Amino acid sequence: MTTKYETVIGLEVHVQLNTDSKIFCGCSTEFGKEPNENTCPVCLGLPGTLPVLNKKVVDYAIMAGLALNCDIAEYSKFDRKNYFYPDLPKAYQISQFDLPVAENGEIEIETEAGLFKIGVTRVHLEEDAGKLIHEGSIDKSKGSLVDYNRTGVPLIEIVSEPDMRTPAQAKAYLTELKMIMEYLDISDCNMEEGSLRCDANVSLRPVGQEEFGIKAELKNMNSFSAVEKGLEYEVKRQQKLLDEGKKVVQETRTWDESLNKTISMRGKEEAHDYRYFPEPDLVPLEIDAAWKEEMRKEIPELPREKYKRFISELGLPEYDAGVLTGDKDLAVFFEEVLSDYDDPKNLSNWMMGEFLRLLNENGQAPFESGVSPINLAKMLKMIDQDIISGKIAKKVFEKMYNSGSDPETIVEEEGLKQISDEDELENMVDGIIADNPDAVEDVQNGKDRAIGFLVGQVMKETRGKANPGLVNQMLRDKLMD
Amino acid sequence: MNIYDLTIHELKEKIAAGELTPAEIKKAYSDRINEVEDRVKSYITIIDELAGDELADYENKKEGLLAGIPIAVKDNMSTDGIKTSCASKMLENYKPPYNATVVEKLNEAGAVIMGKTNMDEFAMGSSTENSAFFVTHNPWNLNHAPGGSSGGSAAAVAAGECAAALGSDTGGSIRQPASYCGVVGLKPTYGMVSRYGLVAFASSLDQIGPITKDVEDSAILMNVIAGHDPQDSTSIAGKKEDYTKYLKEDVSGMKIGIPEEYFNLEFDEEVKASVLAAVEKLKEAGAEVETVHMTDASYALAAYYVIAPAEASSNLARYDGVRYGLRSEQAADVSEMFTNTRHEGFGDEVKRRIMIGTYALSSGYYDAYYLKAQKVRTLIKDDFDRIFNDFDLILTPTAPSTAIELESKSDPLEMYHTDIFTVPVNIAGVPAMSVPCGFDSNEMPIGLQLIGPHFGEGKIIQAAYTLEKLLNINEKRAEL
């Protein structure tokens, strides 16, 4: 009889905060500069230099803690985490050990299997290290180059409780976390650029057992899909070991994207004693109720709240609500249009359809195109009022997207107004009927499809401007019964 | 008196009266350095003759509290573009790209920085014998140590190689050499002087302070260097005063405590006699002197020799050969580069303390050592606070003896013991000054320590100034 195992997953997520300057000095945090351009004596750890805490970094950390439903510490402090590595200029990282900024939070996630609450153990502040660029291959390399632009960039480390039970839940948690950070606008949250990083702890235990199994730590998963694939692989690997009666080794494993497996880093890493002690160059951090409240006010409606509200108040389907709230700017754009337009579902269709299509094609974000919320609202009203047809509207929209013009001007300039005048239409229709006797006969013989053909001919004749609904009705009236 | 024997305030008077120009003063001190430096060896780097334009600049530099005054700076304070070695092979050729805040302040005050002085390597030592380069000699007797770790600064002042100097004090490194060299040395309240640019030894204990020929000069230098610095998160705002307003001969009603436990320790009888004689003079001048009871100083010494090395082990970890300083040539990989560089770059005492400190912070030992020592520290601070509720000052000898002979102490623990009276002060974060109070039968200087409450520099200066006038020995200079 094979034992049934339960998967236990915890995630440690590092989020780079997008403050203008670093956590302990005034250097820029801007990504993509020349190596060692964003450095100064402090973040290079030159002898004699001292850290000075950037207040905005703490503001952002408080916001993150509150958004994750944590308790914010009234008294918190920094500690030194000591180890030697070329990308760590002081040979210690200023971090937080036992008194972090925030603790005891939780967030709600949704997967196909349902809703789950995932605990957040803690959120703490720390400084990032530099980047090593290795020349050549590991066995033939002459050396490595170090870029210290990243040292001192502020990070928050968010540690979850080991509450996730499937890789899908882990992915949902990570996705939700990313969205929350984006809504707060405190990070670029870009896994490819390294402003969002994820390590995982994975273990298996027999179903019903309270004690956790031996865990492996997974690193080097550099995309959402890598996280999911890495976890899936690891769960299978551990399952296989246990089924064969073997033990899982407590170790760090790296995800290899090219081989699609996790590989042991055992032997390459020594057990670290970080010799944590309180950072003597910084004073303790005291966060009073007033500061907390000030930051609470900065928190906008968060993704899950907005998602639920779009469904309950606006009557949108779950799918639509999911897509629209999945991107903060898209949600904000949507709501701005709605301040001037009252059909959420129709707007949703347009945004998920034409708008997203063009944004993806052009690699733009919602507020970067020529379409403004006001103009989209105007355009939709024009469709509702039958001034233009839905099909013509697509042309208008694309023009708006590229030119930034408003819909009235475009329709006027291009002469795209829908023809709804009955007399004018009747002339067209009579003309088409006269020119297409075969199709007319088909209609009268009951071939409904031929109506479509005739409507098409009218549309062709009017270059799409005839009101197709009216044309259709007119043809039916004239040709049927 | 020779120009090089004059104090800062005397030099300023003469400049103001048109009797001396900054250029003449600079030349007098340069000549003095040439005369005695090969015997005293205070300086690691002498900032040489100025070129034509800069000399002219000098002539015009009459602004600032220290305009035209030659000052020496201990070689653990960053000077932009000028070697800052901390007397270590590790930084033998290191030139910082920035100035320490105190150096900026000296520059703004118009001071002429004569050079960087010798010290115990990374400020770890009590005799300047731990310098990786050479030993400094006590101007009063060249066979004796100048004290440490600011031995070069103290010797330079005592030998007339500068008008005054900056030192740093973590466990007594300003006061003890000042005592050995017969000059005045002040360690300010922790946080009063910026540490930005001071190469860190023990972050929670280090302070920069003045080493001067007399008390008035100490007050003048404090006016220049003290004050809040936004670049140092541990520096305090709103506490700076005009220290020269305390230059009054008046101790009437001042309550001074003599800690019985300190005086009961075994130490040189002549030192004891000289200190007690000074106490009598203060009593005669109206001070109220009483015995007080304090925690045994050896507890502070024990706490210090856990806390300081622990912080040092972390502060010195950055010397890994990657970015600046020494990098070992022989290394097959990064790990070897780290270990070889640190093996070659650090002297024995530095290695000793890094090992002790690493041990005290390591998993399984942190609670028993570092944490425990910090708790003892709080008790020691409370002890000082308790005394200062009722007393203005505490008085002790600065060191248990006069300047030790060079190469006389081979046991590190014996060397640590010379800091017994000074260390508790750093542990508590309070200010203290060593002021000369006499000479022993070998004409070696004896120092007396005045300890004040936090931000009590004013009281200290006032009592020290009064004592100086009563004893009238501050014009005596070492014969070289």
Interface of A with B (CB under 8 A): 41, 44-53, 80, 82, 84, 86, 89-92, 146, 273, 275-277, 280-283
Contacts of A273 in chain B (CB under 8 A): 362-363
Q: Determine the pLDDT at residue A315.
A: 96
Q: Are B464 and B433 in contact (CB under 8 A)?
A: yes
Instruction: Round to whole Å and give the CA distance between B464 and B282.
Output: 10
Q: What is the pLDDT of residue B52?
A: 47
pLDDT in tens, A339-396: 999 999 999 999 999 999 999 999 999 999 899 999 999 999 999 998 888 888 999 9
CA count, 13 A, side-chain hemisphere, B309:
25
Nearest residue of A to residue B361, measured between CA atoms: A275
Q: pLDDT band for position B157 (50/70/90)? A: very high
Higher-confidence residue of B52 and A59: namely: A59
Task: Quickly list DSSP for A130-188.
Answer: -EEEE-S-TTT---EEEEGGGTT-EEEEEEE-S-B-SHHHHHHHHHHHHHHHHHHT---
Count of C-beta atoms within a 10 Å radius of residue A410: 20
ipTM for the assembly = 0.96
pLDDT exceeds 80 at position A268: no
- Nearest CA among A420, A333, A330 for reference residue A375: A333
φ, ψ for residue A453, nearest 5 deg: -60, -45
Task: Provide the chain B residues 52-91 that lie in CB contact (below 8 A) with chain A.
Answer: 76-78, 84, 86, 91
- For the segment B152-175, the average pLDDT, to the nearest whole number, is 98
Contact indicator for B236, B229 with CB cutoff of 8 Å = no
Query: Between residues A427 and B90, which one has the greater pLDDT?
Result: B90
| Residue among B378, B1, B21, B403 at smallest CA distance from B176 | B403
Query: What is the predicted pLDDT for the residue at B386?
Result: 98
Residue A256: the pLDDT is: 92
Work out how many CB contacts closer than 8 A connect A with B.
97
What's the pLDDT at B54? 52
Does B378 score more than 70 pLDDT?
yes
Asked if residue A141 has a cis previous peptide bond (ω within 30° of 0), the answer is no
Question: Among residues B370, B379, B347, which one has the least CA distance to residue A80?
Answer: B370
The distance of A48 to chain B (nearest Cα, Å) reads 4
Q: Which backbone phi and psi does B255 adopt, to 5 degrees?
A: -95, 120
Domains, in order of start, for chain B: 3-294+382-471 (3.90.1300.10)
Q: With beta carbons under 8 A apart, name residues in chain A contacting B80.
A: none
pLDDT at B138: 98
Q: Which residue of B has its CA nearest to A80?
A: B314
Q: Is B49 exposed, middle or buried (0-12, 13-18, 19+ CB in 10 A)?
A: exposed
Q: Which of A70-79, A249-258, B163-172, B436-445 has the lowest mean pLDDT?
A: A249-258
- Selection from A441-445, B55-59, B211-215 with the highest mean pLDDT: B211-215
Interchain contact B133–A (C-beta under 8 A): no
Other C-beta atoms within 10 Å of A33: how many? 13
| Two tokens, residue A412 | 């006027």
Mean pLDDT of B317-333: 94
Contact A277 B334 (CB under 8 A): no
Report the mean per-residue pLDDT for chain A: 93
The model's pTM: 0.92
Strand order of the β-sheet with A277-278 is: A92-95, A79-82, A277-278
Query: What's the whole-number average pLDDT of chain B?
Result: 95
* List of domains in chain A: 5-292 (no CATH), 301-414 (no CATH), 422-479 (1.10.10.410)
Cβ within 8 Å of residue B59, ≥6 positions away: B21, B22, B23
Q: Is B375 a catalytic site residue?
A: no
List B70's β-bridge partners, or say none.
Answer: B112
